[in-house]
Structure 1
């Protein structure tokens, strides 16, 4: 039986249930609550109150998201794009990426080593490795230096 989100308490409870599972951004949480049938005016009031209470934080969400995706082997370009698609401000995204305690060069080298393990034997293999690393969100100049065997720093 679906839950009816027609009262402020019901909307707050549904939002807190979602936040209990993982951090969410305001835009993402609004979208999920709308999908469940909550009216916009109740959502805004509930999310404002959750923010005041410290239960909803964009900064905490950004930090959590960047850390999670970086641990999963994704680079800053891919993470930046995913956060932009989630409706977050570009300045906040840049700040979160700059504050992240991630060595992107080490991350790239580790991902490459785990996935491929050796320098490409020919141009076809080099292109394949480059496409994979680019898809994962690493900069082309970093990838090029890595695949040439040059120092990334």
Structure 2
């Protein structure tokens, strides 16, 4: 039997259940509560209270998301796009990427070595294949070009 989210305490409980599983952004949490049938007025009030209590934090969510996706081998462009789709501000996303402490070129090299065994492309077709894969993962064409040309460390 589905839970009815028709009271402030029910909405708060549902929001806290979601936050207990993992960090959420405000927009993402609001969307999930709406899908569960909670009215927007109750959602807004519950999220304001959770944010005031420090239980809902965009900064913590950004930090957690960037770290998780970086560990999975995704680059800054892909992470930026995913966070934008989740309704976060571009400036906050860029700041979180800068503050993450991830060496994106080292990350790119590790992803490339896992996928292509560290073999530089022998012809244009292989170069295009490797470039498409790395671009899909969210790395810039400048970084990919530098890696695939064998020019060494990112400056």
TM-score range, shorter chain: over 0.9
- 2:138 alignment counterpart: 137
TM-score, length-scaled by structure 1: 0.99
Partner deviation per Cα, 1:13-55 (whole Å, 9 max, x = no partner): 0000000000000000000000000000000000000001110
Question: 1: distance between equivalents of 2:136 and 2:5?
Answer: 40
Instruction: Give the corresponding residue for 1:41.
Output: 41
Q: Is the 8 A contact 1:6 1:39 kept in 2?
A: yes
TM superposition score normalised by structure 2: 0.97
Q: What is the deviation of 1:121?
A: 1.7
**Unaligned residue ranges in structure 1 (runs of 5+):** none
- C-alpha distance in structure 1 between counterparts of 2:10 and 2:26, whole Å: 17
* 1:1-153 pair list within 5 angstroms: 1-117=1-117, 118-153=119-154
Number of residue-to-residue matches in the alignment: 153
Q: Which runs of 5+ in 2 are unaligned?
A: none
Contact 1:142 1:152 in 2 (8 A): no
